[in-house]
Amino acid sequence: MDERLDFLFLNEKEAIQAGANDMARCVDVMDEVFQLLGQGDYLMGCPNHNAHGIKIYFPKETPFPRMPVKGPDRRFMALVAYLGGRYHVCGEKWYGSNLANREQGLPRSILTTVLNNADTGAPIAILSANALSSTRTGAIPAVGAKYCARKDSSVLGVIGVGVIGRACLQGLMCVLPNIKTVKVYDLDQKAAQDTCGQVEKDYPGVRAVAVPSVEEAVRDSDVVNVATSGAVSPEIKEEWLKEGVLLTLPASAALTKHVMQTSTILVDDWKMYEAYAQELRDEPGGFAANLSGICGYMMDLERDGEIRREDIVDLGDVVMGKRPGRTSDQERIIFIMDGMPIEDVAWGYTVYEKAKELGLGTKLNLWG
Ligand SMILES: NC(=O)c1ccc[n+]([C@@H]2O[C@H](COP(=O)([O-])OP(=O)(O)OC[C@H]3O[C@@H](n4cnc5c(N)ncnc54)[C@H](O)[C@@H]3O)[C@@H](O)[C@H]2O)c1
């Protein structure tokens, strides 16, 4: 048996024991990821080094009875990356997503992450990645808010409190110390109420209210996060938006062109959207028809000259001090993020290191 081919397997429980849900730590790690992104010390897929990943697109119809067909949030996706700095590791997040999973009592998406030695290619860890992935996703709006929310933000609106929405809420609470009120809207009112109960327990002194509409979650909120799933995105009207609001969008919201044109658009990595544009340039229906709502919409607007590239701000540049974050208390900022494999590699590696320190997981050998 060649011990150089040993790797660590972490199931979901072990990943959590090793800190996969440690949001405060994850926000710091994601901040570091954006520094590495801003410096360019990373590689993602494709010759342009910036691909989000490769997706299996399911057809609307198929003559093959068992072949999956298109459905709400139904996809398979492989996200690959190398991350430098103190990581120097390659990895992949691989997941399947299907909204219909809920009918079987399963989460919408089921995820695994593989980490590999960047020089030899040997696997070093295989991790269950549900907690890993929701925590890293929840930490990204927080990094955006750390640099771009109004410092006096006291009201947080949260739309959609599935696993991702709850993680975003937690992340935002790590970086917004002045929040006094959290307003929660979800089509599932029980989920909204349960989240409010949890918020009041976790953050004594904060008032949490389940509200009956998107409008009530948005009005008077200093920061608004949207993390719903399904075919229809919540519509947010311009007149509901408070001056100086930060809108964080790990999922889509329906916004007018005017809102997009009169807000600062902050993105996780514009080069990733350029990579999408190369990949999708010959597909009919424009980008919006082929890429999840707000990302495709933003790309169509930029291609058509309705918003200008030079006005779109990369979070990596803000974190590195190359571009300012918020420039005034009046500025409205929309943070659009599609998620990047470098986030999964960084958080997976951090949890793997902690698991080794704690002696968690099962050591396996690839060639046995
Ligand atoms: N940007 C990223 O990196 C990233 C990563 C992971 C997931 N996501 C996205 O986050 C979203 C949420 O993922 P999840 O796993 O939490 O999904 P989920 O299905 O578990 O939860 C979604 C929640 O939204 C609620 N909801 C659906 N439509 C709504 C509406 N119109 N108004 C209010 N509430 C509504 C549902 O009742 C549910 O509670 C998905 O769209 C997913 O694609 C983004």
CATH number of 321's domain:
3.40.50.720
Give the pLDDT score at 231.
82
Q: Low-confidence residues of the chain, pLDDT below 70?
A: none
Give the pLDDT score at 286.
80
Domain carrying residue 25: 3-133+342-365
CA–CA gap between residue 77 and residue 71 (Å, rounded):
15
How would you write 148-191 as a 3-class SS string?
HCCCCCCEEEEECCCHHHHHHHHHHHHHCCCCCEEEEECCCHHH
Whether 107 and 15 map to the same domain: the answer is yes
* Ligand 1 atom closest to Cα of residue 229: 41
Give the pLDDT score at 34.
98
Give the pLDDT score at 78.
98
Whether 153 and 127 map to the same domain: the answer is no
Give the pLDDT score at 281.
86
229 CA distance to ligand 1 middle (Å)? 3
Give the pLDDT score at 172.
98
Whether 100 and 164 map to the same domain: the answer is no
Which residue, chain included where needed, has tokens 């150089």?
A: 4
Whether 252 and 267 map to the same domain: the answer is yes
Contacts of 211 (CB under 8 A, 6+ apart): 183, 184, 185, 192, 217
Whether 237 and 109 map to the same domain: the answer is no
Whether 14 and 41 map to the same domain: the answer is yes
Give the pLDDT score at 282.
85
Give the pLDDT score at 368.
82
160 CA distance to ligand 1 middle (Å)? 6
CA-based diameter of the chain, in Å? 66
When divided into structural domains, the chain yields a total of 2
Which residue, chain included where needed, has tokens 């360019």?
A: 40
Whether 9 and 119 map to the same domain: the answer is yes
The pLDDT tens digits of the residues spanning 15-69 come to 999 999 999 999 999 999 999 999 999 999 999 999 999 999 999 999 999 999 9
CA angle in degrees (0–180, nearest 5) for 106-347-39: 135
230 CA distance to ligand 1 middle (Å)? 7
Whether 333 and 347 map to the same domain: the answer is no
Whether 145 and 263 map to the same domain: the answer is yes
Whether 68 and 121 map to the same domain: the answer is yes
Whether 356 and 280 map to the same domain: the answer is no
* Ligand 1 shell residues, CB under 6 Å: 73, 108-109, 137, 159-165, 185-188, 191, 227-230, 232, 234, 250-251, 337-339
* Ligand 1 atom closest to Cα of residue 134: 6
CA–CA gap between residue 7 and residue 302 (Å, rounded):
44
CA–CA gap between residue 131 and residue 55 (Å, rounded):
21
